[in-house]
Structure formats: structure tokens, C-alpha cells
């Protein structure tokens, strides 16, 4: 096994890897450090799942499963780039692309009828959504802005939209009938197995059997009422029109791959309610599934003039919709994975509460977030900025995060125990001794789910928070709501540990709404705080605050201290990656910023030095930090505009600064001697290299695929400088 695993992923991060990874491997080899790859891309996972359908030379190993085992060992040292958490439309598109390339994969069965189709569907369902992160995250999360990145953001503040007190932008969430209001939670006092059943007048149906929980596990159960959801959506559509704002739905249909696409489908159906009422049967015959989004719906009904006319009439009567792409007519409801809450809400807040409308202009927006579990975070943020005006990045402090996520903690691990209820009855969670742990009376169409968090990850999370607070010496807040069932169980863990360690006075415990306001007050004063949160809020906050503070979450330092001693180093968010790929394909300009990769690389090398005693790796890591500082100090990050330096030029500068730092350091004479001629060649080749990188821009770039690009074509696109390639090899 290589010393460091660099993950092969998708979209812009993977394109950047084609340029950056050869540099890493060249430099690391000088310190005796091997850097290998494992394929966790969407296409790679599809191919690994269906070997029986492929030729021998097309088959691919299950790299995700291998990494899943590796991260449970002390030897793990993995740099994880952001991968696609696929919605159904993305999954279907990837399958079609692979089929067109000659891979005889089965189609994705939208409505499986036979046992064979059900088996294929079950396999594909293991790939969609958050299939990667729960497998690899065998530790809790330490996310923060590196000091150099934060300092640069303060010295070079990004543009922030202006907030006004009379802004009509708001957050709307359900006041009842949602996951928050229906939640039940309990901590198990012994090891147990469990099953989930639906009891109806016709008898008992087992929804899930063979569940196993160790003692100390916090087990939750809840449901969302379909009737309450539908009423809420209808009310919000009417209220949005009355307010004269944009209608927008903000969800996480990628990570919450079972529940949120269903909720998304309810919104599509509510927005086009008159059309579904009039043409429901005809649309079903055409294969329309509202969960697949408005884009898929329009593609299926485009040849039916009557349906299209009624869609146009209904859309004209509805409030204008928040747009993904106004120029191309792509709405908020086109594809469930196009509007991801942790990216969309911070961007809207940063813009002064403005969203893009179908007219190509910015407008105030009704931000519809059905479940009330985390909506208060965004609601309170909007209220705070209405009262106080926009945040000043030049003077703002920072919000770090310690997140509970190990071993599929909380909602992000709930996919196997989430169900759309087929008929009215009672869902019961029954332990092996016959105890009914949780039960809910449900109606047909309701969405029921169970989630859990195990004792060891919870205790590790609290101890990590204690370590981080001690290291930073700043405010630290557990974002836990004593009035919420699950959070109350966590508080019962948190308080005794803090008291036993004698640090209870160093921490506060606040509900998310209050913690949001307090954190915004702290950073407005120029001070720092640590948000200690569960899994979903970890995800949401490590986009919200970085986007406000740094303009992006892609530059965050993300360290996962694996519970068995290894290290997982994540490189930031990939939500904007599709737009970057589109620009590269059209203009051969990649604006993806690899700063997150730079930060992760430095941490990985330092971890390797500590864990394996490789002091040359430590020197490499220190030089990475110097190179990263050089990128920031000299403004060598990629430009957004074609014709200006892009990701490839940024990698040249990083390699040059890295080589120069190694050549000039005095900790290791052999490394200094090795890198001196490389640094000299990179410096002398500056004019030729930058010219070669610039001259390819402007024309379309052929990658040979989107989800499964051709490696040779990608290398040609991402490594166009012969001079640089001759130096790097």
C-alpha cells in the first residue's frame, strides 16, 4: 500500500488532479514517499458494482470498499477530494455515458417490476447519494480555515452584498408534522438487535430486520407527514406570490438520498398542482416521476401540446422561481441535486439575501426549508444581517467546527432505515427482547426514518472538542437543543465528560438558533469561536461561515482524525465543480482553486512524518506550507476569466514555490541538493511555461467524457506545457 492515497474523484477536482498529482508524486518520491490513487468517482463505483456485465479488461476493483477497510487501521493516510454524491438524474446520465463508451451496464430501473430489475435497482441505490463519505469517515471532523488562508481573506476582503432592514428575504419552515416535531430518541443500555415493522389492519410488514446496536448507542426515530408537507408547500407558493419574492427550495437531496428526493418531488407536484390534477394519468404513462425534477418531467412531456400549454399557464400564474441558470431556463426545481442547501443558502446570504430570478436579475427570496431541524440556523442568520448589515471579511473572526460524523452518525447514516410509507398504520422499532423502542402512527406517503450515533464516536467527538478548545483558547459552543429529543441524549453524554475533565466552564451549550446569533456576534467583534455540532450542522456550517468569511468553502482545512489512529485529509467542498467543468469544456479554462488540496497535502505529509518517523516527509510538509503561503502572498490563485491564469498556472507556481522552499531549507541537505536544480529550471522556464499554459485557452477542450473522461485526453488538456512536463516528468 502506498504511503499516501490520493483519491480519484469527479468533475473539477479530478481535472485539477491530472495537473497536480504528477507534481506531488515527483516531489514526494525524493523523500521516499509513495503516493497512489484509489478510484471513488461515480463512474468508478458504477463499474465496480457490475463486473458480471463487463469484459475482463473493463472490470474495476472496488476501491471504495478497500479504502473503507484501510481507514479502520492506523496506517491510513488518505487525501480525499470532493466526489459526486449522485442524484438519480446524475446517476442515469453517468450510466448512459458509460454505455455509450462500450460498457454493457444495465439501465437504471425507474420502476422495477421483475426480481432481476429489483436486484439491479438495489445495486444502483447503493451508489447514489452519500455512498462515499459514510464509508470513509471513521473519525470525527476538525474543520477550520488555515491561518494563512484566513489572514489572506482579511487582507483581501471579497465582495459582500448589502443587507437592508426592509429585505423581504426570509426562511420558511414547517411548524409541525416534520422530522423535528416528531422525533423520539433513546440511549440503549445494552447490546441489542432490532427490527422496524409497519403494523396495518392487514397485518405486519417488516421494513428492516437485522439491525445491530452496541450499548450506549443513541437511537432516534421520526417521520414527516406528507399531508402536512403538502399543505405547507401550497401555503408557501401562495405566500411567495403575495410577497412578490422568488420561490426557492433548499434541501440536501445528495446526502439525504432517500428522504429529500421525495420531499423535492412533493414540491414539484405542488408547484404544478393543476397540471398533475388534469394530466396525472397521461404523465404517469409517459414515465413522469416528480422526484426526478422538472427537467426530467419537461423532457418526457415536451411532445404533448396540451400538457405543455397547461405547464406554461401554471408557471405564469405561480410566483417567479429562484434560478440555477437564468440564461438556460434551469429552475430551482429542475434537478434535486442542483440546489444543495449548504452551498445555496450561504451564497444567498452572502449576496445580501438576493437570488437570481428568471428575468436574469436579483430579487428577495422565500427560502423554503421544510424540516425545522436546522432551518433556524439560516433564519437567524438572515435576521441578524437585516439588523446589523453585512459581515466585514476584513475584520471578522472565524468559526471553526468540530463535527460528530464517525461511524455513520446521525441523519447521514439513516438511508437504510428511511421509508416512504405505503399504507396507513403504525411504524414500530422493536428490540430483540420485544421492547418497542419507538413507534409512530403514520399515513400513506409519510416519510419515516431512524438514525443513530454510537457511544465511542460521541465520546471521541467531545474529547476532540476539548482538545481543539485548549489549542485555540477561544469560545466553544455545543450546538445542541435541549428541547430536541436527539440533542437531549447527546447533552447527557457531553456534560459528564466536560465535568470529569474539569473544563465545563470553557464551553456553552446552545440551541442552533441561539448558537448562530452568538457566533455571528463573536466573529463580528473580530474574535473566534468553535462550533461543536452533529453531522448535518457540521456540513452546513463549514459552508456557511467559510463562504461568509473567505468567499468559498473550498479553501478549508479539513482533518479527520480516524478513531483507530489513521488520518483522512479532506480538501473542501465541490458544489461549484460542474460549472467549472462546463467552462473548461467551452473555453479550456479551469478556475478550480486547489488551495484545499495544498492544505490537505501539507497536513498529510506532517501526519506521515509523525506516524512513520519520516523526517524527510516533515520537511516536504513544511515546504508545502511555505508554497501555499507563496500562492496567497503573490495572488497566484486561478482567475475566473478565460485568458487569465487558471488552475494549471496556479500549479506551476505552487511547484516552483515548493521547490524553492526545499532548495533553501537547511534541515535536510540531500533534499536541498535534489531540489536546487528543479527550482532553477522552474524559475528559468517561467516565461515559456506560462506562455504554453496561456496559449491553449479560448478554444473548446475535449475530455472524452464528463463522468468517465479519457485519461490521455484529460492529461493533454491539463498538462499542455511541454517545458513544465519536461521538468516534472
Query: 336-357: per-residue pLDDT in tens?
Result: 988 999 999 999 999 999 999 9
Q: Tell me, what DSSP letter sits at residue 441? A: E
> Band of the pLDDT at 159, cuts 50, 70, 90?
very high
Strand 567-570 to strand 556-562: parallel, antiparallel, or no bridges (unpaired)? antiparallel
The number of angstroms, rounded, from the C-alpha of 283 to the middle of its chain's C-alpha atoms is 33
State pTM to two decimals.
Answer: 0.88
668: three-class secondary structure by DSSP: coil
Cα–Cα distances in Å, from 627 out to 86, 157, 414, 557, 621? Answer: 34, 21, 41, 16, 10
Report the C-alpha gap between 148 and 626 in whole angstroms: 10
> Band of the pLDDT at 269, cuts 50, 70, 90?
very high
For the chain, how many structural domains are there in total?
A: 2
572 has pLDDT over 90:
no
Q: Is residue 77 part of a domain?
A: yes
577 has pLDDT over 80:
no
Report the C-alpha gap between 24 and 713 in whole angstroms: 20
Please compute, for residue 565, the number of CA atoms within 13 A of its CA located in the half-sphere on the CB side: 7
* pLDDT tens figures, 486-505: 999 999 999 999 999 999 99
* pLDDT tens figures, 246-262: 999 999 988 898 999 99
The number of angstroms, rounded, from the C-alpha of 562 to the middle of its chain's C-alpha atoms is 19
Q: Is residue 419 part of a domain?
A: no
9 has pLDDT over 90:
yes
Strand 475-479 to strand 354-356: parallel, antiparallel, or no bridges (unpaired)? unpaired
Q: Is residue 485 part of a domain?
A: no
61: three-class secondary structure by DSSP: coil
Beta bridge partners of 531: 401, 477
638: three-class secondary structure by DSSP: coil
- Judge whether 352 and 310 are in contact, CB under 8 Å: no
393 has pLDDT over 60:
yes
Q: Tell me, what DSSP letter sits at residue 416? A: G
| Nearest alpha-carbon partner for 257 in 206, 291, 296 | 291
Beta bridge partners of 453: 218
Exposed, middle or buried by CB within 10 Å (0-12, 13-18, 19+), for 300? Answer: middle
Q: Is residue 494 part of a domain?
A: no
Q: Is residue 549 part of a domain?
A: no
| Domain-ending residue, one of 342, 373, 404 | 373
Query: What is the longest distance spanned by two Cα atoms in the chain?
Result: 81
Q: Is residue 307 part of a domain?
A: yes
* pLDDT tens figures, 12-63: 999 999 999 999 999 999 999 999 999 999 999 999 999 999 999 999 999 9
| Nearest alpha-carbon partner for 47 in 112, 124, 121 | 124
What is the residue range of 298's domain? 225-373
Q: Is residue 474 part of a domain?
A: no
Cα–Cα distances in Å, from 681 out to 151, 224, 270, 272, 671? Answer: 31, 62, 63, 62, 16
**How confident is the prediction for the chain on average, in pLDDT?**
95
Q: Is residue 427 part of a domain?
A: no
Ranking 177-181, 580-584, 704-708 by mean pLDDT, the lowest is: 580-584
- Judge whether 444 and 424 are in contact, CB under 8 Å: yes
At 574 the pLDDT is 58
Report the C-alpha gap between 498 and 495 in whole angstroms: 5
Exposed, middle or buried by CB within 10 Å (0-12, 13-18, 19+), for 315? Answer: middle
End-to-end CA distance of the chain: 23
Report the C-alpha gap between 81 and 39 in whole angstroms: 11
Report the C-alpha gap between 619 and 678 in whole angstroms: 16
| Nearest alpha-carbon partner for 576 in 16, 143, 8 | 16
- Judge whether 429 and 442 are in contact, CB under 8 Å: no
Instruction: Give me the helix-helix angle, 42-49 and 63-70, nearest 10°.
Output: 100
Q: Would you state the cell numbers that stand for residue 601, as one nine-digit string?
A: 497535502
DSSP 488-550: HHHHHHHHHHHHHTT-GGG-EEE-HHHHHHHHHHHHHTT--EEEEE-HHHHHHHHHHHHHHHH
578 has pLDDT over 80:
no
> Band of the pLDDT at 173, cuts 50, 70, 90?
very high
At 552 the pLDDT is 84
Exposed, middle or buried by CB within 10 Å (0-12, 13-18, 19+), for 195? Answer: middle
Average pLDDT rounded to a whole number, residues 201-228:
97
| Domain-ending residue, one of 344, 373, 402 | 373
- Judge whether 369 and 175 are in contact, CB under 8 Å: no
183: three-class secondary structure by DSSP: coil
Phi-psi category of residue 524: left, alpha or beta, with phi > 0 → left and psi -120 to 50 → alpha: alpha
- Judge whether 372 and 181 are in contact, CB under 8 Å: yes
Cα–Cα distances in Å, from 588 out to 84, 306, 584, 643, 646? Answer: 22, 42, 4, 9, 9
430 has pLDDT over 70:
yes
Return the CA Rg of the chain. Answer: 26
| Domain-ending residue, one of 352, 373, 394 | 373
Amino acid at each position: 500500500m502506498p504511503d499516501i492515497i490520493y483519491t480519484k474523484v469527479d468533475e473539477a477536482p479530478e481535472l485539477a488532479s491530472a495537473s497536480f498529482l504528477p507534481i506531488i508524486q515527483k516531489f514526494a518520491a525524493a523523500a521516499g514517499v509513495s503516493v497512489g490513487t484509489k478510484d471513488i468517482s461515480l463512474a468508478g463505483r458504477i463499474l465496480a458494482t457490475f463486473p458480471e456485465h463487463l469484459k475482463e479488461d473493463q472490470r474495476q476493483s472496488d476501491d471504495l470498499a478497500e479504502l473503507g477497510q484501510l481507514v479502520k487501521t492506523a496506517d491510513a493516510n488518505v487525501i480525499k477530494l470532493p466526489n459526486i454524491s449522485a442524484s438519480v438524474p446524475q446517476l442515469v446520465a453517468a450510466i448512459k455515458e458509460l454505455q455509450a463508451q462500450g460498457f454493457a451496464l444495465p439501465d437504471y430501473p425507474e420502476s422495477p417490476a421483475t426480481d432481476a430489475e429489483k436486484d439491479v435497482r438495489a445495486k444502483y441505490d447503493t451508489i447514489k447519494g452519500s455512498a462515499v463519505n459514510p464509508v470513509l469517515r471513521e473519525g470525527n471532523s476538525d474543520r477550520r480555515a488555515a491561518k494563512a488562508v484566513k489572514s489572506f481573506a482579511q487582507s483581501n476582503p471579497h465582495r459582500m452584498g448589502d443587507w437592508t432592514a426592509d429585505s423581504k428575504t426570509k426562511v420558511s419552515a414547517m411548524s409541525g408534522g416534520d422530522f423535528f416535531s416528531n422525533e423520539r430518541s433513546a440511549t440503549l443500555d445494552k447490546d441489542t438487535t432490532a427490527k422496524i415493522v409497519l403494523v396495518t389492519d392487514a397485518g405486519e410488514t417488516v421494513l428492516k430486520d437485522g439491525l445491530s446496536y452496541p450499548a450506549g448507542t443513541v437511537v432516534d426515530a421520526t417521520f414527516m407527514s406528507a399531508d402536512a408537507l403538502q399543505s405547507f408547500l401550497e401555503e408557501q407558493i401562495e405566500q411567495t406570490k403575495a410577497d412578490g419574492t422568488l420561490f426557492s427550495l433548499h434541501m440536501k437531496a445528495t446526502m439525504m438520498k432517500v428522504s429529500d428526493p421525495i420531499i423535492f418531488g412533493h414540491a414539484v407536484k405542488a408547484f404544478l398542482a393543476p397540471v398533475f390534477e388534469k394530466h396525472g394519468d397521461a404523465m404517469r404513462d409517459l414515465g413522469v416521476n416528480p422526484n426526478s425534477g422538472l427537467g426530467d418531467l419537461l423532457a418526457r412531456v415536451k411532445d404533448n401540446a396540451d400538457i405543455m400549454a397547461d405547464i406554461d399557464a401554471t408557471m405564469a400564474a405561480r410566483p417567479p422561481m429562484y434560478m440555477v441558470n437564468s440564461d438556460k431556463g434551469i429552475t430551482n426545481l429542475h434537478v434535486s441535486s442542483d440546489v444543495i442547501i449548504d452551498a445555496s443558502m450561504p451564497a444567498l446570504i452572502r449576496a445580501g439575501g438576493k437570488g437570481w430570478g428568471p428575468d436574469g436579475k436579483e430579487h428577495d427570496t422565500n427560502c423554503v426549508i421544510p424540516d425545522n431541524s436546522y432551518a433556524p440556523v439560516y433564519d437567524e442568520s438572515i435576521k441578524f444581517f437585516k439588523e446589523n448589515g453585512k459581515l466585514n471579511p476584513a475584520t471578522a473572526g472565524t468559526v471553526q467546527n468540530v463535527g460528530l460524523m464517525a461511524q455513520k452518525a446521525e441523519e447521514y447514516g439513516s438511508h437504510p432505515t428511511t421509508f416512504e410509507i405505503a399504507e396507513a398504520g403504525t411504524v414500530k422499532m422493536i428490540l430483540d427482547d420485544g421492547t418497542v423502542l419507538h413507534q409512530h402512527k403514520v399515513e400513506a406517503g409519510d416519510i419515516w426514518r431512524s438514525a443513530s450515533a454510537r457511544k465511542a464516536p460521541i465520546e471521541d467527538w467531545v474529547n476532540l472538542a476539548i482538545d481543539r478548545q485548549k489549542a485555540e483558547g477561544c469560545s466553544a459552543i455545543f450546538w445542541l437543543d435541549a428541547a430536541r429529543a436527539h440533542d437531549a441524549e447527546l447533552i447527557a453524554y457531553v456534560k459528564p465528560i466536560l465535568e470529569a475533565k474539569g473544563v465545563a466552564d470553557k464551553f456553552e451549550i446552545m440551541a442552533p438558533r441561539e448558537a448562530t446569533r452568538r457566533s455571528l456576534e463573536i466573529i463580528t467583534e473580530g474574535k473566534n469561536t468553535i462550533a461543536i455540532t452533529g453531522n448535518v450542522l457540521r456540513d452546513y456550517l463549514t459552508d456557511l461561515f467559510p463562504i461568509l468569511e473567505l468567499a468559498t468553502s473550498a479553501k478549508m482545512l479539513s482533518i479527520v482524525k480516524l478513531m483507530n489512529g489513521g488520518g483522512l485529509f479532506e480538501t473542501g467542498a465541490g458544489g461549484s465543480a460542474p460549472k467549472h467543468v462546463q467552462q473548461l469544456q467551452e473555453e479550456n479554462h479551469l478556475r478550480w482553486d486547489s488551495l484545499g488540496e495544498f492544505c490537505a497535502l501539507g497536513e498529510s505529509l506532517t501526519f506521515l512524518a509523525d506516524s512513520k518517523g519520516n523526517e524527510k516527509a516533515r520537511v516536504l510538509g513544511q515546504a508545502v506550507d511555505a508554497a501555499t503561503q507563496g500562492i496567497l502572498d503573490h495572488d497566484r490563485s486561478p482567475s475566473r476569466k478565460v485568458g487569465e491564469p487558471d488552475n494549471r498556472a496556479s500549479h506551476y507556481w505552487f511547484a516552483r514555490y515548493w521547490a524553492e522552499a526545499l532548495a533553501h531549507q537547511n534541515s535536510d541537505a540531500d533534499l536541498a541538493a535534489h531540489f536546487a536544480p528543479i527550482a532553477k529550471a522552474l524559475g528559468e522556464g517561467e516565461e515559456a511555461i506560462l506562455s504554453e499554459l496561456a496559449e491553449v485557452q479560448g478554444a473548446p477542450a475535449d475530455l472524452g467524457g464528463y463522468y468517465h473522461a479519457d485519461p490521455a485526453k484529460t492529461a493533454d488538456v491539463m498538462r499542455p506545457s511541454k517545458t513544465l512536463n519536461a521538468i516534472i516528468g
